[in-house]
Amino acid sequence: MSVAEVEVLIVGGGPVGLFVGCTLAQASVSLAVLEQRQTINTGSRSIGIHPPALRHFARLGLAEELLARGIKVRRGQAFANTKLLGTLDFTALPEPYRYVLTLPQEQTEELLARCLYQLQPEALRLGASVTAIEQDSAGVTAVYQQGGHRQLRGRYLVACDGKRSLVRQQLAISWRGGSYPDTYLMGDVPDDSSLGDDAAIYLCDAGVVESFPLPGGLRRWVVKTEHYLKGATAADLAGLLAARLGIAVASTAAMVSAFGVQRYLAGQFVAGRVILAGDAAHVVSPIGGQGMNLGWLDAAHLAELLPRLLRGEAGVDLATYQQQRQWAARTAIRRAEFNMCLGRRWRYPGLRNAAVRAMLMPSLSGLLARVFTMDKLA
Ligand SMILES: Cc1cc2nc3c(=O)[nH]c(=O)nc-3n(C[C@H](O)[C@H](O)[C@H](O)COP(=O)(O)OP(=O)(O)OC[C@H]3O[C@@H](n4cnc5c(N)ncnc54)[C@H](O)[C@@H]3O)c2cc1C
């Protein structure tokens, strides 16, 4: 029996798989995205979209709609408990994206899915759960369930199937890392603060509180907790914010979720004709909001390399992808660890606060703004 074939098979239609699909479809590569979910919409986990990713969204023609829907965060305020230490200004970043955009992940995914549909209407296959892959010298076959047992073959396969990647496990690629001791509670609640479109970080004696504006009159609060608060409610979040900052937030919320944080890195990003991207290749602590963006930047590299490989251009190989993207992931992991470290309990918080005040001085704050917005990770 002959098996249908595309040039590139993508396993996983999360934010990274959809982005890989859009960028390759724009380069006229024939592809299929196999996604096990029946619908694209998920809860709102990621919210921050950084300037390097916005530049790639612009190439897809999506930046305008993203910007119209999201909130442009041009400034961050840093507090020691509730006392202002200083501000971090993003307006000195290079044009045109002198801000971080916030938009719930489900809206970004919806825009990407629509873009992919317009570029290649048959490409996104929802309800398609991959159960195995087989690789030979000419291509990769994916076996999947979608109302029955099916197969599809690609000359290359990009695994965007998240941190528990079946593809990575099938290839027995090493996966090194672990969990940090840190735990957090986050929630999106009606925004009654006076912060406007600013983000804020409160270095509290009992642990950090972070705060970001969201579209629709909401604000995300992320609170460091002593332990994982399974089943926590909006009232728990409101209680923590009242205790640490003396502020009252609504005890009803659009979303409340407790989470722990991890770091992981795949030993290889490329194995023959299979390429890992996004959380399938690296997991970065979300404190700093860079994991999804890192995956999009992986995708942008593939959009450049894969069409050339498919055309048989000489001198193109995937070793540069592995080298560059592993370096970017290690750097993002270190930056996220630095952010987490600032937010822990300090024996001498005055020392930490003095260091933060110094980093926010005009001579250093430009560098800090670039580090926060994923400079050099593209
Ligand atoms: C609380 C929190 C907040 C965060 N905030 C930010 C932020 O602000 N900015 C940021 O950049 N990052 C953030 N992150 C990280 C971000 O959520 C992830 O890095 C991102 O979702 C990774 O995208 P992905 O497409 O690689 O993987 P996933 O989002 O995990 O998507 C993988 C997809 O593959 C599908 N799949 C899996 N297995 C199969 C299979 N066998 N067959 C078919 N389909 C399959 C899944 O259904 C899923 O749709 C945050 C993370 C957390 C936990």
List pLDDT tens digits, range 16-38: 999 999 999 999 999 999 999 99
Predicted pLDDT at 374:
84
The verdict on the CB of residue 67 being under 6 Å from ligand 1 is no
Closest C-alpha to ligand 1, atom 2: 45
Q: Domain extents for the chain?
A: 5-47+104-174+267-342, 178-261
Q: How confident is the model at residue 1 (pLDDT cuts 50, 70, 90)?
A: low
The verdict on the CB of residue 307 being under 6 Å from ligand 1 is no
Look over the chain and give the mean of its residue pLDDT values, rounded to a whole number: 94
| Ligand 1 atom nearest to CA at 279 | 26
Range picked from 35-44, 65-74, 313-322 for highest mean pLDDT: 65-74
Predicted pLDDT at 38:
93
DSSP-based three-state secondary structure for 192: coil
Say whether pLDDT at 263 is over 90. yes
pTM reported for the whole predicted model: 0.96
Predicted pLDDT at 201:
97
Which residue from 50, 279, 302 has its CB within 8 A of the most atoms of ligand 1, so it is best to mutate? 279
Predicted pLDDT at 307:
97
Q: How far is the CA of 106 from the centre of ligand 1 (A)?
A: 11
Predicted pLDDT at 182:
96
The verdict on the CB of residue 118 being under 6 Å from ligand 1 is no
Residue range 79-84: mean pLDDT, rounded: 97
| Ligand 1 atom nearest to CA at 48 | 8
Closest C-alpha to ligand 1, atom 37: 161
Radius of gyration of the chain (CA): 21
The verdict on the CB of residue 290 being under 6 Å from ligand 1 is yes
Which CATH code for domain 178-261? 3.30.70.2450
Is there a contact between 349 and 203 (Cβ–Cβ < 8 Å)? yes
The verdict on the CB of residue 48 being under 6 Å from ligand 1 is yes
Predicted pLDDT at 289:
77
| Ligand 1 atom nearest to CA at 42 | 49
Is there a contact between 98 and 90 (Cβ–Cβ < 8 Å)? yes
The verdict on the CB of residue 25 being under 6 Å from ligand 1 is no
Say whether pLDDT at 98 is over 90. yes
**Tens-digit pLDDT profile for residues 136-162:** 999 999 999 999 999 999 999 999 999
Backbone angles phi, psi at 47, to 5 degrees: -135, -25
Q: Do domains 5-47+104-174+267-342 and 178-261 have the same CATH topology?
A: no
Residue range 248-255: mean pLDDT, rounded: 84
The verdict on the CB of residue 162 being under 6 Å from ligand 1 is yes
Give me the percent of the chain exceeding a pLDDT of 70.
Answer: 99
Q: Give the containing element (helix H, strand E) for 270.
A: strand 270-271
Predicted pLDDT at 328:
96
Backbone angles phi, psi at 187, to 5 degrees: -160, 150
d(CA 341, CA 345): 9
Say whether pLDDT at 44 is over 80. no
| Ligand 1 atom nearest to CA at 131 | 41
> Quick check: bond before 96 cis, omega within 30?
yes
Closest CA to 49 of 113, 90, 110, 105: 105
Predicted pLDDT at 29:
98
Q: How confident is the model at residue 362 (pLDDT cuts 50, 70, 90)?
A: confident
The verdict on the CB of residue 293 being under 6 Å from ligand 1 is yes
Predicted pLDDT at 254:
78
The verdict on the CB of residue 158 being under 6 Å from ligand 1 is no
Q: How far is the CA of 363 from the centre of ligand 1 (A)?
A: 36
Is there a contact between 6 and 124 (Cβ–Cβ < 8 Å)? no
**Tens-digit pLDDT profile for residues 193-247:** 999 999 999 999 999 999 999 999 999 999 999 999 999 999 999 999 999 999 9
Domain 5-47+104-174+267-342 has CATH 3.50.50.60: yes
Predicted pLDDT at 43:
67
Closest C-alpha to ligand 1, atom 31: 14
d(CA 51, CA 93): 9
